Amino acid sequence: MEPVTCYIKERSFLARLAARYMGGHQIAMVIGRTIHLHGTSRENFLRHTWWVRHEICHVMQYRELGLVPFLWKYFWECIRVGYYANRFEVAARAAERDAAIMERVKIV
């Protein structure tokens, strides 16, 4: 299977809004195949392997479900069980220890 091409957007307005909502200073969030960053640089983000793997897991979730279905299911999970227990976040935290996930993507 051909690796999925992922993109990184620094100083993302969407990530800034998410950081404000979550009460954090540094945040990465995924929309489709783009990892949006706020409060951190591309270089700093890429140095944290666990963080990259976490976000790559979300890229793969989008790929599997599609943009709108993923967003709908993700937000429904947050409403139903909360952010931390959200099955998509649980899977992404598990992926933080999975080196093989990086073989499935190419970050440009």
pLDDT tens by residue, 47-88? 999 999 999 999 999 999 999 999 999 999 999 999 999 999
Tokens standing for residue 89: 């976040």
Greater pLDDT, 64 or 22: 64
Q: Is the pLDDT of residue 1 over 80?
A: no
The parent domain of residue 52 ranges over 4-107
Mean pLDDT for the stretch of residues 5-11: 97
Q: How far apart are CA 63 and CA 2, in angstroms?
A: 13
Share of the chain above pLDDT 90, in %: 94
Could you read off the pLDDT of 35-44 as tens digits, one per residue? 999 999 999 9
- Is residue 20 within 8 A of residue 13, CB to CB? The reply is no
Number of domains in the chain: 1
CB atoms near residue 67 (< 10 Å): 12
Give the burial string for 3-34 (b: 16+ CB within 10 Å, else e): eeebebbbebeebeebbeeeeeeebbbbbebb
